[in-house]
Amino acid sequence: MNRRSPSTHRRRALAGLTLALGVAAKALAGTMVTPALVPPPPALAGVKSYVLMDFRTGAILASKDPQLQLPPASLTKLMTAYLSYGALADGRLRWHQRIPVSDVAWHTGGSSMFIQPNLPVTVDQLMHGLIIDSGNDAAVALAQAVAGSRSAFVADMNAEAARLGLKGAHYTDVDGLPDPGLHLSAMNIAQLSRDLIARYPQVLQISRIHYYRYNHITQRSWNPALFGHPHVDGLKTGHTHAAGHCMDTTIDRHGRRLIAVVMGAPSWPAGVHDVMRLFDYAYRFTHDHELLKAGQIVGNYRDDALDPDHFPVKAAQAVWVSTFVGQAQHIQRVLHYDQLGGRPVTVGMPVGSMRFELNGRVLARTALLAAAPAQPAGTLGTLWNRIRAEL
């Protein structure tokens, strides 16, 4: 009878343990969360900077040097339009109001809608000339009508940029003619465009128009992406030697809107090609998800010092996020409840917050509101609530 040495038994035991650990490791690996791979965005040759943004969520889906400050050319007129729409909204301007044309506006160089001092022009016509014809003369006439002078309007532009949080943006004119002090980033333009469309969606009724006629002159829109791409409906373009070909383009396919800003493309065809590649990339690899509806019950707040000692809480707003394909199931929800200290609770009162995270990055937040009232329980009520909780 052959006898194995103790070392042989130890080696076999060690091998068995190693095998068992390997099997366990494989089983554990099958349950681990592996983030979905993010496909790289298309390479845009010759472009200085770009931003691809989801309109609904504001998520940046792809970018290159998004904060780089560059000459914006006629993308400057987006802020001119924004402030003009604001003046229309608060009654300082009216759509059919006739605007006097100054010699300064008449003689403004560059692209023009061909207004003249003795030819009637309305605010409605100037807005069309500003957005479709990219009229520098229209920009000056609107600035004078809103603020009294170009310099006062420029001050308003910079104040509004600061209010909107357009980091690093600086305006020196209302039309985008070359100036060393005039600069915007692709991120500035995307953020402004999103706010412009959200606040004044009627801008798209103008920016989608292919041709506009004024003063017996018909001009083609300066946005070449409108032609041959039926889902594109805006927004603005610009070109100077220093800026190159700049495009701020928005598209709506099947109810999902995107914004692409490309700065410094080598040509209009190249710019159109680039923005459409960005849009195709986003629609193929990303999705919007509604995680919560406004008013949806998401949990219960509990406090022994209240009567009742618990009440439902609801989301203050709908929560949408943009993710790449395969990532949505990995989003984590993190709740935080405020310490109310037994204070009276009314329906709609803020009582906490919820954030949504993916791989440690916060995608969205919402406040949590009380969905039912509660009153202080008092000393005896608090004691009773604690006793009940322990039973």
CA angle 44, 47, 50 (to 5 degrees): 85
| Model pTM score | 0.86
Do 324 and 344 reside in the same domain of the chain? yes
The model's confidence at residue 34, banded by pLDDT at 50, 70 and 90, is very low
Q: Which domain holds residue 157?
A: 49-286
The model's confidence at residue 36, banded by pLDDT at 50, 70 and 90, is low
Do 282 and 304 reside in the same domain of the chain? no
**Count of structural domains within the chain:** 2
**What's the DSSP call for residue 385?**
H
Do 76 and 111 reside in the same domain of the chain? yes
Active site residue 112: no
| Nearest-angstrom CA–CA distance, 124 and 141 | 12
Q: Is residue 28 part of a domain?
A: no
49, β-bridge pairs: 263
Do 74 and 178 reside in the same domain of the chain? yes
Do 269 and 131 reside in the same domain of the chain? yes
Residue 15 has pLDDT above 90, yes or no: no
pLDDT for 30 equals 34
Active-site residue, from 84, 111, 112, 134: 134
Is residue 182 within 8 A of residue 170, CB to CB? The reply is yes
HSE-up (13 A, CA, CB side) for residue 382? 10
Q: Is residue 322 part of a domain?
A: yes
pLDDT for 31 equals 31
Q: Is residue 242 part of a domain?
A: yes
Residue ending a domain, among 265, 286, 307, is 286
pLDDT above 90 coverage of the chain, percent: 83
Active site residue 167: no
3-state secondary structure of 314: strand
Active site residue 134: yes
Active-site residue, from 74, 84, 111, 185: 74
Residue 11 has pLDDT above 60, yes or no: no
Which residue bears the tokens 């039912």?
372
CATH number, residue 331? 2.60.410.10
Active-site residue, from 48, 49, 63, 77: 77
Q: Is residue 40 part of a domain?
A: no
Question: Which residues neighbour 42 within 8 Å (Cβ) at sequence distance 6 or greater?
Answer: 274, 277, 278, 281
Residue ending a domain, among 286, 308, 333, is 286
Do 347 and 260 reside in the same domain of the chain? no
**What's the DSSP call for residue 326?**
T
Residue 125 has pLDDT above 90, yes or no: yes
φ/ψ of residue 325, rounded to 5 = -55, 130
Q: Is residue 329 part of a domain?
A: yes
Residue ending a domain, among 266, 286, 306, is 286
Preceding omega of 93 cis (within 30 degrees of 0): no
Is residue 139 within 8 A of residue 113, CB to CB? The reply is no
